[in-house]
Amino acid sequence: MKILSDVREATPVIVPFSAADFLDRALAVYRERIGIVDEPDQPAPPLGELTYRRVRELARAQAAALDHFGIGMGEDVGRCNLLDQAKADHRRRQARRQRGARIERPVA
């Protein structure tokens, strides 16, 4: 079993893939297969079933829009930290209570 022992001793080749690399590979291998199924029960209109080809089209359109607005690769676009938002909401409610204001609960 010399061949098997050679395989075990071989050093793996590790190549980091970006999201674009994964998408390019999926496009090359699975072009017209369904790659993403968007959740139908959500506030925004669902996109339904997306092929890898369509996902790439949407990703390129998003990249073009970011380029149009002068946002470069690796730059932050926006962040939503739900924990920070919840803490800020809690502080606002506490401040209103201290002022004697009536607190209304948001309708979900």
What pLDDT score does 92 carry? 80
What pLDDT score does 97 carry? 77
What pLDDT score does 107 carry? 57
Sign of CA dihedral 78, 72, 18, 60: positive
What is the chain's mean pLDDT, rounded? 80
80 or 24: which carries more pLDDT confidence? 24
- Under 8 Å between Cβ of 50 and 32: no
- Under 8 Å between Cβ of 93 and 103: yes
Q: What's the pTM value of the predicted model, to 2 decimals?
A: 0.55
pLDDT digits (tens, 9 = 90+) for 13-57: 788 888 889 889 999 999 999 999 988 888 888 889 999 999 999
102 or 83: which carries more pLDDT confidence? 83
Question: What is the SS3 assignment for 37?
Answer: strand
Q: Which of 11, 51, 54 is nearest to 34 (CA)?
A: 51
